[in-house]
Amino acid sequence: KWQAPVNGEYAPNINPADPGEILGMFPESCHADVDEAIQAAVKAGPSWRQTPSPERGRLLLKFADLLDQHADALGEILTREQGKILKESVGEVQRAAVEARFMAGEASRLAGETLPSERRGVWIQTIREPLGVVGAITPWNFPVVTPVRKIAPALASGNPVVFKPASDTPWTAVYLMELLIEAGLPPGVVNLVIGSGSVVGQRLAESPLVNGITFTGSSATGRRIYTAVAQHLGRVQLELGGKNAAMVTDYPDLEGAAKEIVAAAFAASGQRCTAISRVIVSRAEAPRLTDAVVELVRQIKVGNGLSRDATMGPLINKERLMTVEESVGNAKNSGARLLTGGKRLTELGNGFFYAPTVLDDVKPDSLLAKEEIFGPVLPIVTVDSMEEAINVCNDTPYGLAASVFTEDIDKAMQAAGAIRAGMIHINHGTASEAHVPFGGVKASGQGA
């Protein structure tokens, strides 16, 4: 059932393409609401854990079908509150359906092992047990697929959930709950609490009644959550930031590489944890690759994600816009050369629009080359050898994804072995699939 926040407080949800448009008022929940949600999950836990796992899987199959059926309607809501173009939004909902369907199958494969014993006439079994209440805390950049990626496996494995979505994208979260209800989810098994990270999220992480937290977001928040959960020895799974390189060396089809790089760099306005956010290219190939990248970036059409001809939407909010502006300003001051973009697009109105941006002459040790910007900004670093390319690639706190473009199989294998990243792609941009492991090393994640 739906209920009002105890404190009666609400905040507006605005459209990032047109901040004057208030999409709705959503709760600013307080500790009492979180505690009540946790209690509901604790209460629903025993019955959910005893529900046969194939039956839990059937519910997820129904949920997956509903996601597909509602892809257009939910996709439009996603675009209105998040900003990404409609095609990407609908694709995200369909992708969430694939994730839910995969997990539905996993519910029937929660197998254990049978082992021999040292004693005669004795068999030993290992059994997979539900963990208990799972807290799911998600960011705003993929407000449909990321929650589904957390909630579906928790449910398949018999765990009740308390779900805290990002404050910028509560509407899609409400819609997901409606679909779960329609799929037949029993009361208390998934509980949505809308409110701020520091109040709702922090309370969830601190509660000893929450047995595990699955979190996607920034590395800074991930550290805070890890610390809080450690106090009661809960489990954590953290999917954090990235500074994902596309490394290009000995690759004749530089125009093809540029196409892959630009798509992976500017989807969701560059606000993807696995977005390509720097190019590392050999000095010989740099001029042609750079020209091809810039030409493609100039073709990107920024606009309201609902408009048919837009190929990139706004940034999520004003803070992000200011951070991106500041990062590009600092980069220019530290000697990087602006090739295209580098400014707000005020001609598009008050929306948080920023021009897709490419810079070269970027020093490998500059902030632009090392730190996550999370926006439509692509720095190009030139190197003189494969060894230097790998060193530059690894010289960042992050280790999420990387792409290597090369026709030299030895170099491809050398890079795949030497790059410290959770996911390495050869000759295509960064991408992920539902049935394939996803996660990072170093400051990019934990427990994936």
* Partner whose binding site includes residue 81, from Mg ion, ligand NAP, none (CB under 5 to 8 Å by kind): Mg ion
Contact call for residue 340 and ligand NAP (CB under 6 A):
no
Distance of CA 214 to the CA centre of its chain: 12
Residue in 239, 260, 285, 372 annotated catalytic: 239
Of 11-19, 70-78, 102-110, 410-418, which segment contacts Mg ion by CB under 5 A? 11-19
Alpha-carbon span 117 to 380, nearest angstrom: 59
Q: How far is the CB of 409 from Mg ion (least distance, A)?
A: 46
Q: Which is nearer to Mg ion, 11 or 348 (CB)?
A: 11
Contact call for residue 372 and Mg ion (CB under 5 A):
no
Contact call for residue 197 and ligand NAP (CB under 6 A):
yes
**Long-range residue pairs from 410-418, CB within 8 A, at least 24 positions apart, any chain:** 411/249, 411/250, 411/386, 414/386, 414/390, 415/247, 415/386, 415/389, 415/390, 418/390, 418/394
Contact of 271 with 377, CB cutoff 8 Å: no
Contact of 398 with 440, CB cutoff 8 Å: yes
Helices 71-82 + 53-69 axis angle, to 10:
70
Contact call for residue 167 and Mg ion (CB under 5 A):
no
Of 82-90, 211-219, 252-260, 296-304, which segment contacts ligand NAP by CB under 6 A? 211-219
Contact of 93 with 144, CB cutoff 8 Å: yes
| 393 noted as active-site residue | no
Q: Which one among 158, 201, 351, 399 touches ligand NAP, defined by CB under 6 A?
A: 201
Contact call for residue 285 and Mg ion (CB under 5 A):
no
| 273 noted as active-site residue | yes
Window 375 to 434, contacts with ligand NAP (CB under 6 A): 400
Q: Which one among 241, 313, 341, 429 touches ligand NAP, defined by CB under 6 A?
A: 241
Backbone angles phi, psi at 425, to 5 degrees: -110, 135
Find the DSSP H helices in 267-317. 286-298
What residues act catalytically? 239, 273
Which residues of the shown chain bind ligand NAP in the complex (CB under 6 A)? 137-141, 164, 166-167, 196-198, 201-202, 205, 216-218, 221, 224-225, 239-242, 273, 372, 374, 400, 445
